[in-house]
């Protein structure tokens, strides 16, 4: 252990100055010296009982203590007795003693109050948040001191979430714990940081305020709407298939997926008889199975400028990414392959179709990293890249915005390259505000112009869709709210009809 060397020069200087002052003004120095000795004894007494208590210099250097307005008022009241002093030296002595007494009260409040180290703060938040959804953040506070505390807690969430801090006033008894929670709603995918949690509380004499930061900065990743998967599964368990977009035709066959039970007829295979059901019904019952066809799905996402338009606090690209997440989950559950191709003016992300949970997690990570670019889409280059790959025949779902301008015209010439080999569908995500403006009754000249522009855009998208369908490619013109059900329905129809 390294021992600090004494500083004789400083100690000697203090001794000389103190001696000179005691000779010049003994009526001032002597009371002050007695008070200093008393406070020093009190500090030593408390530190001997609890060696972990930090020294006053450590506390002040860390900036953990702020005096309250009560101290300011006490100092102001200390000027009143000066008017009663009969001499200048007496007034100075009275002023010094009074202010020193106030200082001692402040120090006493620091010593006898609970220490900030007696508090424990824990932030509980998922490391993966869902975009556009309320995500819960929980703060657990533990008071390990022997006195109740009134705490002011400020938890600083990322500024990108819209709120920079959440203030809570909490009354906490001694040796107890409490928790509170709040919601954050991120509107953009990416990595963000929660700052440290700040806690303030007053001393027992209410002369000082203790302030301390707890914990460390917490990194969270905002993913596509992961929570929508659990909501989708819940709707399925409750039998709300129509709400989830899963009411499609079924084909009975020789597959392995159980479909239904029916009464036995002559010619049915004996191995399909359900003997338990037959015993319950007192007649022969056979199982029906749904034929299944393993297939490959490739989601082609447009990440160009037009997909950055905001609808319901999320961009069109974010809506498309959330729908691709749900689609990929269903494809994985049915044992099919799911892949991803993101493009703008060139292909950006390519994940070959694959199956299994590990591949789906990779699919999710690629969706997390996608962002919209301020460029026009180049359909020709991306469709040529698809046709150049050695993909087996797949279902291509091209999710784009057909209002993006002249670049869409190039799709008409390029899409036959992939439609000859792959089953292709072009999904145009349309801002619902366009339909509202086009159908609204204009009340001003500006509203008339907006109505004309909206109708022209809708008619252009409809015209492009008709041209694409003439080539033999299916199209959809839907709003972001219809994406989930439309993509799922189309996928299941293709699968159950064995079109691949």
CA distance 68 to 59: 16
CA distance 188 to 465: 30
pLDDT, one tens digit per residue, over 452-497 is 888 888 888 888 888 888 888 899 988 888 888 889 888 988 887 7
Tokens of 440: 């609204």
* 52 dihedral zone (left: phi>0; alpha: psi -120 to 50; beta): alpha
Residue 352 has a CB neighbour count (10 Å cut-off) of 14
| Long-range contact pairs involving 226-230 (C-beta distance under 8 Å, separation at least 24) | 226/128, 226/130, 226/325, 226/364, 227/130, 227/133, 228/130, 228/133, 228/322, 228/325, 228/326, 228/484, 229/325, 229/326, 229/329
CA 350, 354, 358 angle in degrees (round to 5)? 100
pLDDT of residue 337: 93
Beta-carbon contacts of 242 under 8 Å, excluding residues fewer than 6 positions away, are none
Q: In sequence order, what DSSP letters do the residues of 385-404 get, joined into one string?
A: HHHHS-PPS-EEEEEE-TTS
Nearest C-alpha neighbor of 349 from the set 301, 419, 289: 301
Going by the DSSP 8-state scheme, the letter that residue 354 receives in this structure is: E
pLDDT of residue 328: 92
Query: What beta strand segments (E) does 314-407 contain?
Result: 314-315, 337-343, 347-354, 395-400
Instruction: Assign 183 to helix, strand or coil.
Output: strand
Instruction: Assign 328 to helix, strand or coil.
Output: helix
Nearest C-alpha neighbor of 405 from the set 348, 464, 455, 447: 464
pLDDT of residue 248: 44
For all residues of the chain together, what is the average pLDDT?
79
Count of all residues that appear for the chain in the document: 500
Q: Which residues of the chain have pLDDT under 50?
A: 1-7, 61, 240-255
Give the H or E element holding residue 257: strand 257-263
- C-beta separation of 185 from 133 below 8 A: yes
**β-sheet bridge partners, residue 493:** none
| Long-range contact pairs involving 455-464 (C-beta distance under 8 Å, separation at least 24) | 457/403, 458/430, 458/434, 460/402, 460/403, 461/402, 461/403, 461/428, 461/430, 464/402, 464/408, 464/411, 464/412, 464/428
H-state helical runs in 175-315: 227-237, 241-244, 275-281
Domains in the chain, ordered, with CATH? Answer: 25-112 (no CATH), 116-223 (2.60.40.10), 227-290 (no CATH), 296-496 (3.40.50.410)
């Amino acid at each position: 252990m390294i021992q600090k060397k004494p500083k004789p020069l400083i100690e000697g200087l203090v001794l000389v100055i103190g001696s000179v002052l005691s000779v010049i003004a003994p009526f001032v120095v002597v009371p002050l010296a007695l008070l200093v000795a008393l406070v020093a004894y009190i500090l030593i007494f408390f530190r001997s009982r609890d060696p972990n208590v930090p020294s006053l210099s450590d506390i002040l250097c860390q900036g953990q203590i702020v005096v309250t307005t009560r101290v300011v008022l006490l100092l102001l009241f200390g000027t009143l007795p000066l008017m009663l002093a009969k001499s200048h030296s007496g007034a100075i002595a009275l002023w010094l003693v009074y202010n020193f007494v106030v200082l001692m009260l402040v120090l006493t409040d620091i010593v006898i109050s609970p220490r900030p180290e007696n508090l424990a703060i824990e932030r509980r938040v998922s490391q993966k948040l869902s975009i556009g959804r309320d995500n819960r953040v929980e703060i657990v506070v533990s008071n390990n001191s022997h006195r109740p505390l009134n705490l002011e807690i400020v938890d600083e969430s990322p500024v990108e979430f819209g709120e920079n801090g959440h203030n809570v006033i909490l009354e906490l008894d001694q040796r107890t714990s409490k928790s509170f929670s709040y919601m954050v709603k991120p509107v953009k995918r990416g990595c963000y940081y929660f700052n440290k949690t700040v806690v303030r509380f007053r001393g027992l004499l209410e002369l000082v305020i203790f302030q301390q930061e707890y914990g460390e900065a917490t990194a969270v990743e905002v993913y596509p709407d992961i929570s929508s998967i659990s909501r989708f599964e819940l709707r399925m368990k409750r039998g709300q298939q129509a709400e989830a977009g899963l009411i499609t035709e079924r084909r009975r066959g020789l597959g392995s997926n159980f479909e239904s039970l029916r009464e036995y007829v002559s010619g049915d295979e004996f191995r399909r008889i359900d003997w338990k059901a037959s015993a319950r019904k007192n007649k022969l019952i056979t199982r029906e199975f749904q034929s299944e066809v393993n297939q490959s799905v490739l989601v082609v996402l447009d990440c160009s400028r037009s997909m950055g338009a905001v609808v319901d606090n999320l961009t069109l690209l974010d809506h498309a990414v959330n729908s691709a997440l749900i689609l990929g989950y269903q494809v994985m559950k049915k044992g099919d392959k799911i892949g991803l191709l993101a493009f703008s003016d060139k292909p950006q992300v390519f994940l070959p179709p694959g199956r299994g949970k590990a591949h789906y997690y990779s699919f999710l990570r690629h969706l997390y990293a996608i962002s919209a670019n301020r460029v026009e889409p180049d359909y020709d280059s991306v469709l040529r890249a698809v046709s150049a790959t050695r993909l087996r025949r797949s279902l291509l779902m091209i999710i784009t915005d057909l209002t993006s301008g002249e670049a869409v015209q190039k799709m008409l010439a390029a899409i036959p390259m992939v439609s000859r080999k792959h089953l292709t569908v072009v999904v145009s995500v349309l801002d619902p505000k366009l339909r509202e403006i086009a159908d609204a009754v204009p009340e001003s000249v500006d509203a008339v112009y907006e109505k004309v522009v909206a109708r022209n855009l809708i008619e252009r998208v409809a015209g492009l869709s008709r041209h694409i369908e003439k080539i033999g490619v299916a199209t959809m013109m839907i709003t972001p709210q219809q994406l989930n059900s439309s993509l799922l329905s189309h996928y299941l129809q293709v699968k159950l009809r064995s079109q691949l």
